[in-house]
A and B are shown apart, each in its own frame.
Chain A
Amino acid sequence: MRNLIAFLQRFRIFLVFAMLQILALSWYVTYLSFPRNQFLTTNNNIAIQILEWEHDLTKHFNLSKNNTQLQWENTYWRKRQPQFMYQLSRGKVKINDTIFEQQYTYIPAEVINSSVDRRNNYFTLNVGSAQGIKRGMGVFCHEGVVGVIHYASKHYSLVKTVLTEDINIDVNIHMKKSDLPGFIKWDGRDPRYGTVTGINNDLRIKKWSTVVTRGGSGIFPKGIPVGKVSHTEPIEGQALWKVDILFAADYRRLQRVYVIKNLHMAEQTALEARIPRDDE
């Protein structure tokens, strides 16, 4: 017993150091895979309040650019409104649409905190579970895909962006004859460039062909832009292309985003739960 106390006395500095390190690192390692404790992120009340003040101060910096973008988007949609169109065939009865049913709704949101130069980058949005945000919903902006909701508190939520290590959004490389399916990855270097993995090298890929979401997992609708192919290179020893893409959106100056709510999500997951599982 005395030896033990003497040992603790002697190495107490190192023991305290090791304890604090283990605490910090276990927090770091566990949080990356699943959020357990929202207090230790920007989603707690005090931090979010301070970040809101900061955002109030800096949100006007890109105002004119944002306004131009929103105006462009407004005209784009306004052109498609029925009341602004010339009616070619008069006298027909208007009926409820039975061919198309709405599958996705969009919740507008504002990015109030963001980073792009870490290994894993998260954005904080000013909408939360009170607005119907849930973990796993997709987020996109006017120009392209942004990420997936990682954690939602009452009034705020955290987005795991495409600028993280283990984001797996299914995408298509849009070709003339067929679409090549793959997944987005990010290597942590440049927020403008990402990669697409899992592309077989039996087809040649044209430079600057567009990459869009595939919409298979129900998180994103089909066809939201992701980026453009900027460089392809064969991976040695594998029948795969290494495809670099230029992201469509500029994540460094992102302010307005939309959260996607899939109205058929419950139906899809319930259906896919019926797939018989292989027992390991």
Chain B
Amino acid sequence: MNIVYKHIIRFVVFAFLQALVFNQLNIGFGIHLMIQPLFIMLLPFELTVIPMMGIAFLMGLVIDIFSNTYGLNTSALVLMAYLRPIVFKFYGPREGYDPLKEPTSQDMGSSWFGLVYGLLLGLHTFWFFLLEIFELGRFGFILQKTILSGGLSFLLALLIQSFILNSKQKK
């Protein structure tokens, strides 16, 4: 499958899953599941940062429209897209990334994926709740929301990854 179509389809699927399924789940304890960071994470290695920020902006806009958050998701996703190359460079192999591989846990190893995605997701979630609550006096609450939502979103991302992995093995 053409790589561009693949990512367009992923964009639509991730946006709709987030807007229609995960936005509607009210778990409590301030937990807010987010899968759109995984979409930014799975974009190909060779994509440069400016188009990536553009894609992140669009994705955030779609999510914001569906959840009435007016730019909150956009801001957090653009921040994540901006930080992705920096984190990738920091944890990357010495000879650079293989352009044939994808930034998934089955291509790059689960420890690399866990470290990089965990860091990016943590920063994204922290920025999101920092802006949403915007009160330094309630820093503990921001941290609580970040850790609970980030942790569960991370587990969800691993689950979605394993689905993608399984569908590839069947082909």
Is there contact, CB below 8 Å, between B71 and A16?
no
Contact string against A for B residues 57-81, beta-carbon threshold 8 Å, 1 for contact and 0 otherwise: 1001100111111111011001100
| Interface SS majority for chain A | helix
Which residue from chain B places its CB closest to the CB of A12 in the assembled complex?
B50
Q: Does B30 lie within 8 Å of A189, measured CB to CB? A: yes
Instruction: Quote the shortest CB–CB distance from B25 to chain A (angstroms).
Output: 9
Distance of B160 from chain A, by nearest CB (Å): 20
Give bound CA distance, A28 to B16, whole Å. Answer: 22
Q: Say which one of A36-44, A166-174, A223-231 lies at the interface with B.
A: A36-44
Give the complex CA separation of A51 and B71 in angstroms: 19
Complex CA–CA separation, A67 to B72 (angstroms): 37
Q: How far is the CB of A214 from chain B (nearest CB, A)?
A: 28
Residues of B within 8 A of A41 (CB): 65, 68, 70
- Quick check: A16 and B26 within 8 Å, CB to CB? no
Task: Please determine whether B24 and A24 come into contact, CB atoms closer than 8 angstroms.
Answer: no
Minimum CB–CB distance from A121 to chain B (whole Å) comes to: 8
Q: Is B71 a contact of A27 with CB atoms below 8 Å?
A: yes
B contact residues vs A (CB 8 Å cutoff)? 16, 19-20, 23-24, 26-28, 30-32, 49-50, 53, 57, 60-61, 64-72, 74-75, 78-79, 82, 131-134, 141
Q: Other CB < 8 Å A-B pairs besides A20-B57, A24-B72, A119-B132, 10 of them?
A: A17-B53, A20-B78, A24-B78, A28-B71, A41-B68, A50-B16, A117-B27, A117-B30, A122-B68, A188-B133
Q: Measuring CB to CB, which residues of chain A are less than 8 angstroms from any residue of chain B? A: 12-13, 16-17, 20-21, 23-28, 31-32, 40-42, 44, 47, 50-51, 54, 58, 113, 115-119, 122, 124, 158, 188-191, 252
